[in-house]
Chains A and B, each alone.
Chain A
Amino acid sequence: NAGVTQTPKFRVLKTGQSMTLLCAQDMNHEYMYWYRQDPGMGLRLIHYSVGEGTTAKGEVPDGYNVSRLKKQNFLLGLESAAPSQTSVYFCASSSSTAGQPQHFGDGTRLSIL
């Protein structure tokens, strides 16, 4: 039972490069989320999805795009990476039942030089 799987686990990019972070969940959850975590800032929601084919902006969406073409996958894209996007990125999923906990992946540590 893998739960929520994120790839890659680590990545170093140069400013201006693009990349996609992949999140896959095997729990048949409707809801999926992308967070970034920076020292002293807690978890901040970037984008989220309430179902296949739907996406919505969170608290800090600028500079990121997402897609949810399949229910089990949620992709986070950086079109032109900036040093301010250096962070740890967490994907999470939850069921559609109100108040259910979120299940997190192991995170992607991304450095932008």
Chain B
Amino acid sequence: GQQVMQIPQYQHVQEGEDFTTYCNSSTTLSNIQWYKQRPGGHPVFLIQLVKSGEVKKQKRLTFQFGEAKKNSSLHITATQTTDVGTYFCAGPYSGGSNYKLTFGKGTLLTVNP
């Protein structure tokens, strides 16, 4: 079945350092979504990428969708303590059901002030 892999599983940084998490799918994706979950909270939608090679920015966050639409990345510039949480990527289920998502296991980011 479809697999969505994320690396690294954990990342600890000093405040001000950059952070990147990578997402790889075993199948081509029609789109990819990114979610953030704060400790003790619930996943919150951040962004969706649809086009091959697409790059989107949200303030200090930069999201990329690979040319082959099988991988994606999230880069945070100059991390802040408010960036702490788990970042998940998710792609539509490969069985043709665009309303079901396969989530990666997430990358837990901790930031030392």
- Chain A residues in contact with chain B, CB under 8 A? 31, 33, 40-45, 48, 50, 58, 90, 92, 94, 96, 98-99, 101-107
* Contact, CB under 8 Å: A96 / B99: yes
> In the complex, what distance in Å separates the CA atom of A92 from the CA atom of B104?
17
Count of interface residues, chain B, beta-carbon cutoff 8 Å: 21
Q: Look across to chain A and name the residue whose beta carbon is closest to the beta carbon of B104.
A: A42
Contact partners of B88 in chain A: CB under 8 A: 42-43
User: In the complex, A41 Cα to B9 Cα: how many Å?
Assistant: 11
Contact check: which of A44, A50, A99 meets B92 at CB < 8 Å?
A99
Residues of chain B having any CB pair with chain A under 8 Å: 9, 30-31, 33, 41-45, 48, 50, 88, 92, 98-101, 103-106
A40-B42 CB under 8 A given contacts A50-B99, A99-B31? no
Contact of A90 among B9, B42, B98, B105 (CB under 8 A): B42
Decide: B48 and A101 in contact? CB cutoff 8 A. yes
Shortest distance in angstroms between A76's beta carbon and chain B's nearest beta carbon?
Answer: 16
Choice from B41, B42, B99, B105 contacting A98 with Cβ under 8 Å:
B99
